[in-house]
Amino acid sequence: MSRKSAASALRDAAPVFAALGDPMRLSLVTRLTETGPMSITRLSDGASVTRQAVTKHLHVLAGAGIARSRRRGRESVWEIDATPLRAARRSLKAISRDWEAALDRLKAFVEEG
């Protein structure tokens, strides 16, 4: 199944939005996107919280499919998977489109009065 209904796509988007909703996670995502794959301690160096907190956030991102890790030696390198982000972006686009359509219908209804 390569195509989904708009409703199910939106249901899938909710966890992605929830994952991006935390400022710390959002900053992790931006650092990973701008600088590329990084280890946990490297990511925690700049952060204001513990390494463990960063680890938890990374797992939340992984749960939403936004990030994944791969073990290299003794460190685990994390990188971004942009696929769910693109899907979320499509959902936002669909919402905006529907809203414009609803506005048009409303306008027509008022004018025909």
Q: Which residue among 4, 52, 72, 106 contacts a copy of itself (CB under 8 A)? A: 106
Residue closer to DNA by CB (options 24, 90) is 24
* b (16+ CB within 10 A) / e for 95-111: eeeeeeeeeeeeeeeee
- Is there a contact between 20 and 32 (Cβ–Cβ < 8 Å)? no
Residues paired with 67 in a beta bridge: 80
Q: Which of residues 44-63 bind DNA (CB under 7 A)?
A: 49-53, 55-57, 60
22 binds DNA (CB under 7 A): yes
Q: Which residue among 1, 21, 73, 113 contacts a copy of itself (CB under 8 A)? A: 21
Residues paired with 81 in a beta bridge: none
Token pair in block for residue 59: 């797992």
Residue numbers at the binding site for DNA (CB under 7 A): 21-22, 24, 39-42, 49-53, 55-57, 60, 69, 71, 73-77
